[in-house]
Each structure stands twice: as C-alpha cells, then as structure tokens.
Amino acid sequence: MDSLQVPVADQQEAALLPCPPDGYVPLSELARALGQRVDALSRLARISMVPDALRVERREGTRSVAWYLPGGTAAGLIAQHRAGHPMPWQGKPLVDDLAGKYRLWCVRRHPSACLKCYRIWGHSEPPGSFEAYVARYTRLSLGDKAHLTQLWAKLRPLPEAIEHLVRLCGHDRVVEALENGALRTLERDGRAWMDSRVIDEWSAAGYPQALPSAQQVWALPSTAASSSSVDLAQVLWLIEHDEVQARMGSGPVSKGRLFVDQLEVGAVMARRALSAGAPARLDAA
C-alpha cells in the first residue's frame, strides 16, 4: 500500500503564484465565519472543494503556501453559511477519506468466496486500482460500504460445514452449489475450509444452486430431470448420446459424480417438444 497514488481533483500544484491577485483575500480569514479550522479549509482547497481558490507563496523561494480566493467568492460563502445553505464541499466524498477507506479495504478484503462482495461489485471482479475503487465505491449504499471493511468471519472445517448445510437443504443441493461456485471453499495449511459468513449468506439467499450470472448450471442428472419435468432415463439418454454437456465433478465433495448442464437439458427438451407439437419423449431403451 506504500505505492498508493491518491489523485487530486485538480492540477493546481503547478499554479503557485508569487502574490495574490488584486481583490483576493486569505482563505484562513474565513475560518471563524465558516465554522471551520484553518487546516481543514486548506485541505478542502487542496482537493479543489473551495471554488476559485489559488495557491500563493508565503515567502519567496520557500515551499510554504497560503490559499486565497476572490473577495466576492468569500462573501458568497459566508452568506451561504449564515443562511444555513450547504457549502460546496458538503455531501461530497473527500479524496483523502476515500484513500483511507481504500487502504482499509485492501487490508480487510474478503476472499472470493464472499457472495455478498460479489454482488456488491456487480457480479464481477473487484476494482483493481484506487481510481476504479472510487468510481464504484461512491455509488454503493451505506450497508454495502460497511460490509466491505468488516472483519472476515472465522473458518469452519469443510466436513463440519457440509454436515451443517446438508441438514438445511439436502446433500444434492450442497453438492451442486459447490460445483457451480455458489458455495466456495478455501485451502489453508493443506486442509479444506469454508467461511462461516459464506454459509450464512448462501442460506439467507435461499440456497441458490448457482450464481445469478451463471451461463451454465451443473446439476446432478436427477435434479436436471426434475427441473425439466422429464424422466431421469431421458436425461441419461441425452448424456449418453452427447446431446448435452456433461462432466465429472472435481471438487472435494463432488469428485467422481456425474453432472449435466441443467440449462442445456431444459433447452433441448423444449426444442424437442416444440418440434413434435407434444411433450417431449425420448426412447431411453
């Protein structure tokens, strides 16, 4: 995180003036009238939140600077404040604050198994840079923002987690969710684990078989048959004759079990029913 480059809203660093233009007043003189500290106003000016503010050298040949703004702008800000109107910098995320949140998120970033983070980031990869983070973070709800920096929950041994989930929704649904990535496991110290927060969020979502964005849903043949309202023998016939995609499971729980693309089974059966003008039946003999 030492290499984090925090962008500023404007490139005023190059506009350092030797003296203030006529009619400009020191920003520091507005602090009391605006109910702000001098250093806070300078910080706001540095990220272009104070309109028309310019940097001026305090002493020639030094790095010390002061901020000035037109007298009319200063009078307008004071009038806004006294009338109870919002200041230009209120309600806007400050770059320095966002940088702090970004650093904290990088430290506490949840593993890819977190389904809620996957949803928060729009069912896509999380941002890979500070700029991408700012562009997406500022549109999130307060609850989603809070979730991103919550401490990640404890891990549970995979056998224990599986036993718990099977009691909730049945063995087949757990196996299919693992195969489709709706449930994810972690490898630590040569052992398989599942995070307890993943379990809670998957349960709260209604035990989904696959992620909402899934292009393929790998299911046990019996599940695919039930989903398409056909006999198991018909699904097995489709697999045997390469009418649909199938594969053997490779996960810690699904290894060695046969899976079929449930969406493809439904599409094939629908096409056959449409072409025949009647409910599809296959010769499974």
Residue 58 has pLDDT above 60, yes or no: yes
Kindly list the strands in the beta sheet with 218-219, ordered across the sheet, starting from the edge strand earlier in the chain: 218-219, 258-261, 246-248
Spatial separation of the C-alpha atoms in residues 219 and 206, rounded to whole Å = 17
Domain coordinates in residue numbering, the chain:
12-82, 95-148, 155-204, 218-276
Backbone dihedral region for residue 256 (phi beyond 0: left; psi -120 to 50: alpha; all else: beta) = left
First to last CA, the chain: 64
Predicted local confidence at residue 126, as pLDDT? 92
Predicted local confidence at residue 91, as pLDDT? 66
Q: For 168-198, write each residue's pLDDT tens digit.
A: 999 999 999 998 888 988 887 788 888 888 8
Helix segments in the chain, DSSP class H: 31-34, 38-46, 71-82, 95-108, 115-120, 130-137, 142-148, 158-169, 171-180, 196-204, 221-228, 232-240, 262-276
Are 216 and 267 within 8 A, CB to CB? no
Predicted local confidence at residue 63, as pLDDT? 58
* Strands 155-157 and 191-195, sheet pairing: antiparallel
DSSP tag of 16? E
Lowest mean pLDDT among 7-16, 53-62, 175-184: 7-16
Q: For 66-109, write each residue's pLDDT tens digit.
A: 899 999 999 999 999 898 888 887 766 666 677 888 889 998 88
Predicted local confidence at residue 275, as pLDDT? 62
Q: For 108-164, write each residue's pLDDT tens digit.
A: 888 776 788 888 998 888 998 888 888 788 778 888 888 898 877 778 889 999 999
